[in-house]
Amino acid sequence: MLMNGKKTWTSEHDCQLMELKKAGKKPKEIALIMGRGITTIYYKSTELERKTLKINQRKVRRCLGGCNKDFESSSPGNRICPNCIKRDRSGVVDPVAIPSMGIN
């Protein structure tokens, strides 16, 4: 417990909350079982659901780094494949991988 009287959350508490929620318990019931406020239960369950959604955003996406190949991306913001990232860091540019820029 913190000095302000609030309880800290552990990963065990997170698991307990999600298990109770999966079991169909309502937030008010979960709050009573866990000895927490109902607002805290709403907030924490929303936070955990967002983290789960973020983890579940992995999918195959097209590389926007120049090669245009499909790769497994961790999130919608990850749109450059590892090969293009390596190429950019090494400074070696593959002219075949770069779309035409009107340079002859």
Tens digit of each residue's pLDDT (9 = 90 or more) over 32-86: 999 999 999 999 999 988 887 666 677 899 999 889 999 988 878 888 999 888 8
Q: 1: which 2 tokens? A: 């417990």
Same structural domain for residues 73 and 45?
no
Question: Are residue 48 and residue 67 in the same domain, yes or no?
Answer: no
Task: Name beta bridge partners: 70.
Answer: 62
- From the CA atom positions of the chain, what is the Rg in Å? 23
Query: 102 burial class (0-12, 13-18, 19+ CB within 10 angstroms)?
Result: exposed
Nearest partner of 46 among 16, 14, 69, 78, judged by Cα: 14
User: Residues 97, 65: one domain?
Assistant: yes
Q: pTM of the prediction?
A: 0.50
> Band of the pLDDT at 88, cuts 50, 70, 90?
confident
In a domain, 6, yes or no: no
Q: Is 102 found in the same domain as 62?
A: yes
* Structural domain span for residue 24: 11-55
Residue 40: the pLDDT is 93
Task: Answer whether residue 3 is part of any domain.
Answer: no
Task: Please check whether residue 2 lies inside any domain of the structure.
Answer: no
Backbone angles phi, psi at 61, to 5 degrees: -130, 160
Stronger pLDDT, 99 or 104, i.e. the higher one: 99
Domains: count for the chain: 2
